[in-house]
Every structure is written in C-alpha cells, then in structure tokens.
Structure 1
C-alpha cells in the first residue's frame, strides 16, 4: 500500500498544479450593461482570449455594482463609466492602473410625438427643466449605474425633478429602461451605445444631444492585489495593456453595428 501511495502522490500533485494553472486562466471582469448590451465585448474579447489563452468571465451590472464587486475582490478588473466614482475607488486604494479606454455620450430619448417639447435641444439642463414642469413621465434607471449617477447630477443642477408618479425609479438595466420608456411613452437618459441597439425595438427618438456635459468616458481599473492577494492581477494587467493597445483601439473604432460607431477610442 505504501508503494502505491508513493506512486500516486506525484500524479495527484501534478493534477493539483494543472487545476491551479487552469483556474488562473479565468479573468473576471465586472462592467456596465452598455458594454455588454451593445455587443462590444462579444466583438472584442475573443481576440484577447485567443492572444492570451485566458477566458474572460463577464459580469454585466451598473457601474456602482461593478465597482462594489471589484472592491470586494469578487472580480479581477472592472470597466466602467463614472469618472468621479472611479477616481474615488482608486484614491481609497481599491484599484490600481486606471486607464482611459473609450468614450461616447449620453442622450435624452423619448416618444416621437414629444409631448414635453424638448426635441432638438442641446442644453440638457433646460430639457430637464421642461420635463419637470410638464406632464410626461421620466424613467430613471435607479440602480446607481454611471447613467443613473449622471442623471441625478442633472436634476440637481437643474434644481428640479418630476413630481409623484411622473418620475419612475425602475432599478433596471439600460435596455429594460428603454423598453419601459417605450411602453409608457416616457423619456429617459441613456448612453448612445445601448440606444443604438434598442432604437428599432423601442421606436424612441433622440430628443437632446450635443451638450458637453453629456460626455461619457469609460475607464478600466485593476483590483489592487495588495487588498486582495488572490485576484488574477497578472491577467488584469494583460487585459488593460491589450484594450489600450493600438490593435484593440482600432477594433473599438471599427465596431459599427448597423453602420453606426458607438464607441470612440481614447487610450493615450
């Protein structure tokens, strides 16, 4: 029995080593619903996986939840769009190696009939003022996402907000909120990428765009290995370097579903 045990030990050790090596090849990424709903990650990540041999496990949630998952060490890297929250996350020591990746913009969308009379405007605060004073409904994501954070900031700057049942806090992702806005003939704030995917399904029209305050940058951040030693920091660094490389940046620029560019590369 001893001889058999001695023979088995090296084999078991080898299996354990292989299992550990295999587990290390999984990279957990928390990200916003816009990068997932738009199809961007399904378009980008296969090239990274082929290059590195890693499998990226994507967890698509709002920015607030994506950063919380990173803070808890439940993921290795996060790709989000709420710069103030990102800077706070890094300043508090939860994340490292933040890099700019891309940008697009926010837009206000609503029913084609435009009962609030805001279509064609370029001042988001003026549009929000009209929405608060009118009778149309506004659907808020209400999920602490990057879009939700920006929307709340606009209401605060406008100094007003729709009252009562005219303001609906959905607690849902962007695609679901766009669907709800279409069903209720309501307005909402959305990132342009998700709207581009849902435009035909919802029939909602762009009402307000072009305000510099609606600029929407995305950043990628590795979880700090000093806080969570068990994370795949090596893989996180590889993804950061790849997604900000000339190759990946060109792929982001070339991503044009239905002929429309949804994201613009911004890595320096």
Structure 2
C-alpha cells in the first residue's frame, strides 16, 4: 500500500510539473538586432506579458532563413527583403510584416585615405575604395548586410578582390572590431555602429543614399511544413512587435539621444 501511495505521489508530481512546463519561442535573427542591444529591450517585455521564454539564435540573415527552412525555429526577424520574399514564396514562411528600418553607413578611418567623404553617391564611394585599394572588411557571411554590400558592389560594375578586400565570415560586431583594429573601411547597419561607437575610432564617412535603406521584417515559419512549431507564440510575437507596445519600445530605444531603429509597422 505504501508503495502504491508513493507511486501515485510521483505520478501527481510529474503531471503537475508538466502542467507548468515552460513555453519556449525559438527565434533566428540577424546579428544586428542582438549586437545593437534592441532585443534586450523587446524580448523581456514580451516574455513578461505572455509567460514565454525566447531563445535567440543571432546569425547572418542567410543562416537565419536556413534555420527556418529546416524547422529549427518558430519565427524570424531579418533584413534581406529579396531573400525573405523568396523564403515566403517557397512556402517556408507566413505572415511577413514590416517592423522597423534604419540605414547602412560606410565607415572608415580618420585619415580616409580613399577619399570616401567627398563621394556624391555610394557607388562613387565604393569606386574610390577600389581604386585606392584601401583595406575593406566584408562580412562575408551571407547576412543581410553582406547581401546589401554585394548588391552595391554589383551596381558599381566592380568585383572586389585582392589583398585589400577581406572576407571575414563574421557577425557585424566582430567585423567592426576588426575594421577598427586594422583602420579599414566597412559597411555597417547604423544600429550596431551606434551601439559600439564609444569603443571605436571608425567614423561614418558616407551616408544618406537611398540605396542604403535597411528595412526589417518579422516572419512566422509555416506550421503546415512543421506541425510541431510554436506557431501560436510566433503569431503573438509578430502582433507584439507590430503593435503599439513593440513599436513604442523600438522608437524609444536610443543611445546618446540617437534612435537606432525607426518603427515601420503597417497601420
């Protein structure tokens, strides 16, 4: 009888424990949302409201999309519009929504040995770097920033190669640290640069070209492909980011009075 009571007690404990099992939302995202510090503002607010713990995998956008294609995450927050559209068109993602935007900036050393600061367009700025064979650090990781950089080089008609062009295969924070150490040029999203600016000697040498716009979207992974996804929490996260609270948190996230991202959800 004692043994039966003991087993019943264990069973009740197990059932009760499972009833309080933690809900986890797996998210893949670009390194810029992590390195900028934005997720440390957004995610705790969501977790507190819904009792959900978010597991973040911060990688390049290309890798973030690949994780989703394999069913390894529930939701994405990324910034490569063409790749995102192809991902949704292939049936991997649903409910893609605008969240925010910032822009890319071309960074470089104080001496600006390539003369980038005098450029009138981003094409001209890159042409100056190529002509001077000035050291340039590329992400080289199929991230949204890397895809943007390659598209910009393609617009110039140039193919960057040689000892002056270094493909790092690293995230944005690591690339900025490397460029700073080597006093090289690099393309960065403005948010990550502002978050790290106090630690860097690099300066913004070119900005403002329309081609440097940088939109971010959130996408739920298609539950019809992967039935075991936490689709309910993914949809709640999308509603949170594009709703009043999420958009206000994005607008209010600033460093030294400068906004790192601008809310851009459809109303």
1:131 is displaced (CA, Å) by: 1.1
Partner in structure 2 of residue 243 of structure 1:
241
1:20/1:63 Cα in 2 relative to 1: closer, same or farther (>3 Å)? farther
1:43 is displaced (CA, Å) by: 1.0
Q: 2: distance between equivalents of 1:14 and 1:222?
A: 35
Matches within 5 A, 1:1-268: 8=7, 12=11, 15-16=14-15, 18-19=17-18, 22-23=21-22, 25-268=23-266
1:18 is displaced (CA, Å) by: 4.2
Q: 1: distance between equivalents of 2:5 and 2:105?
A: 67
Q: 1: distance between equivalents of 2:148 and 2:19?
A: 41
TM, length-normalised to structure 1:
0.94
Q: 2: distance between equivalents of 1:227 and 1:20?
A: 27
Gaps of 5+ in 1: none
Q: Between Structure 1 and Structure 2, how many residues are aligned?
A: 266
Which SS does the other structure have where 1:55 is aligned?
Answer: strand
Deviations 1:95-127 (A, max 9, x none): 111110000000100001100001153511111
Q: 2: distance between equivalents of 1:40 and 1:122?
A: 32
Q: 2: distance between equivalents of 1:12 and 1:239?
A: 34
Contact 1:131–1:162 (Cα < 8 Å) also in 2: no
Gaps of 5+ in 2: none
Name segments (4+ residues, structure 1) moved above 3 Å: 3-11
Which SS does the other structure have where 2:129 is aligned?
Answer: helix
1:46 is displaced (CA, Å) by: 1.1
Which SS does the other structure have where 2:198 is aligned?
Answer: helix
1:108/1:52 Cα in 2 relative to 1: closer, same or farther (>3 Å)? same
Contact 1:122–1:210 (Cα < 8 Å) also in 2: no
1:20/1:228 Cα in 2 relative to 1: closer, same or farther (>3 Å)? farther
Q: 2: distance between equivalents of 1:260 and 1:253?
A: 10
1:133 is displaced (CA, Å) by: 1.0
Q: 1: distance between equivalents of 2:72 and 2:13?
A: 27
Which SS does the other structure have where 2:259 is aligned?
Answer: coil
